[in-house]
Amino acid sequence: MQAKLSLSVLGAALLTAFATDYAIACSSVVVGKNASADGAVIISRNEDYTINNWNKKLVIHPRRDTDKGEMISFKNGLKVTAPQTMLRYTGLMDWNGDTTAADGPYEERGVNEFNVAVSATNSMDINDAAKKADPLVDSGVIEADIPSFVLPMAKSAREAVELLGKTVTEQGAGEGNGILLADTKEAWYMEIGSGHHWIAVRVPQDKYLFVANGMRIHDVNLADHENVLSSPGLADFVAKNKLLDHVDSKRFNFAKAFGSVGDRYNVDREWLGQHMLTPSLAQKVREQQYPLFLTPDRKVSVADIGRVLRANFQGTELAQVKDADRPMGVDRTIETHVFELRADMPKELQVLTWQAFGSPGAAVFMPMYENAMKDVPSALRAGTDVYEGQSAYWAFRADATLAQTNPGKYGPVLAGWQNHLEGAFLQHQSMVDHQLKKLYAQNPQAALAEANQWSNGNVLTAVQSAHDVFQSLMTDMTKSTEKKYTPAELEKIKAL
């Protein structure tokens, strides 16, 4: 990865981002399998927060049978009937998500035993007219709850969309959100636009989708049920409440009907993401809406995803725009995940998660086979919102903080470390996949045990390496505070 892009956490774009008052956040990239470098379906997202310090922990929920009449219940009042069997799934939960102090688990992203992956959510504004026509429901579907009831139940990405949509239709939604859902065959993108209305689109296999915090779905055919799913009576509702001047069900503009298009907070990132992946396409900055799907100039790799989710406006037209103050990976990014879903791998190894903690500009993407993991490394179980030396989040967050004290000096050090370690993970991954696939054919349990050990080892290696960087930076910082003595003063001190 290019150092100038991997240092967004240290650059001028980040410093200007400190001044933003916006609370909603997140940037996402979804890639169809024919548009990705290794044939994987990819969903990825920066999880941005309102404050800098907020730890996350990985949890594994085992498969279990439920009691008759059991409900999956959440703090805001949402209740979903539990299936007869709750599927095994992983979640990346807020550090306090399993306590009564939290608003909900905020598991944010995860994958289940059927290799269904969910990333929820990109927070989105709903316009006043849509809110008035179909008010939000306090006890409805919200970001804090989505993966925690979808992943234990859905056996495909489409089924996940249908389940989530049905729940919004019947029980309502408490927020406007954009949700990524995928399996090894396809990826879907869903937007919740009001108390009971939603839409979802299947990402074309040869294209990608970039999402910020503005609703994106437009120019879709509501009658194309193979590729578009939506709430009942959606077009009629929009027409009745005059949410669009003209309702065209064959080129339906959900984003304009329910959202706020053209907001610089969102379209700047939309332009940048598409500019980076399809630089051959000349587009003006700050258009009201950008194409929903685009073909990349070259097939997209995990390294490309990291480059986009770390990017600032340096070297682009927006660098000269004074109020272009919202790049991708900002300091309040608390984690970034990339799910690669590969149909050519054994079932338990089909999902490869690339996980980073803190702002991705100062962190390393660590690969893990989450469906093969039996153990969660201690670094992904530890920590709160207060600094400590055990968790993965604080290991990377601490390095970013120290590097910001002298970006010109420490930035290249941090970038060199990041590129070296992450580059090694990326370089070796195809070999690891090949070895595990070969071993699985001979002894599945041995392959899964190896994948579990390898995944845990990657986390431990990366965290220890981050601690080593912290030690080096802190040592150098303390040296920099030494007083500079004249030769005469120094001789006098030595003589004392």
CA distance readout (Å), 130 to 103, 222, 233, 475, 489: 25, 19, 15, 56, 74
Tokens coding 12: 């001028």
Contact at 8 Å (CB) between 89 and 62?
no
Q: At what angle do helices 392-403 and 444-480 cross, to 10 degrees?
A: 30
C-alpha–C-alpha distance, residues 372 and 379, integer Å? 18
Residues facing 245 on adjacent strands: none
Backbone angles phi, psi at 472, to 5 degrees: -65, -45
Using a 10 angstrom Cβ sphere, with 0-12 exposed, 13-18 middle and 19 or more buried, the burial of residue 483 is exposed
DSSP string for 122-190: EE----HHHHHHS---TTSB-TTTHHHHHTTT-SSHHHHHHHHHHHHHHH-BSS-EEEEEE-SS-EEEE
Q: Which residues carry out catalysis?
A: 26
Question: CA-to-CA distance for 488 and 493, rounded, in angstroms?
Answer: 9
Token pair belonging to 319? 């660098």
Q: Is 369 helix (H, G, I), strand (E, B) or coil?
A: coil
104: left (phi over 0), alpha (psi -120 to 50) or beta: left
Q: Identify the three-state secondary structure at position 64.
A: strand
Q: Is 488 exposed, middle or buried (0-12, 13-18, 19+ CB in 10 A)?
A: exposed
Identify whether the C-beta of residue 147 lies closer than 8 Å to the C-beta of residue 108: yes
Q: How far apart (Å, rounded) are the C-alpha atoms in residues 349 and 111? A: 12
Give bridge partners of residue 201 from the DSSP assignment.
189, 228
* Total residue length of the chain: 496
What angle is formed at CA 9 by the lines to CA 6 and CA 12, rounded to 5 degrees?
105
CA 370 to CA 366: how far, in whole Å? Answer: 12
Query: What does R_g of the chain's alpha carbons equal in angstroms?
Result: 23
DSSP 435-469: HHHHHHHH-HHHHHHHHHHHHHHHHHHHHHHHHHH
Cβ pair 92, 110 in contact under 8 A: yes
With 0-12 / 13-18 / 19 or more C-beta atoms within 10 angstroms meaning exposed / middle / buried, residue 62 is exposed
Q: How far is CA 284 from the centre of its chain?
A: 27
> What is the spatial distance between Cα 387 and Cα 63, in angstroms, rounded to a whole number?
34
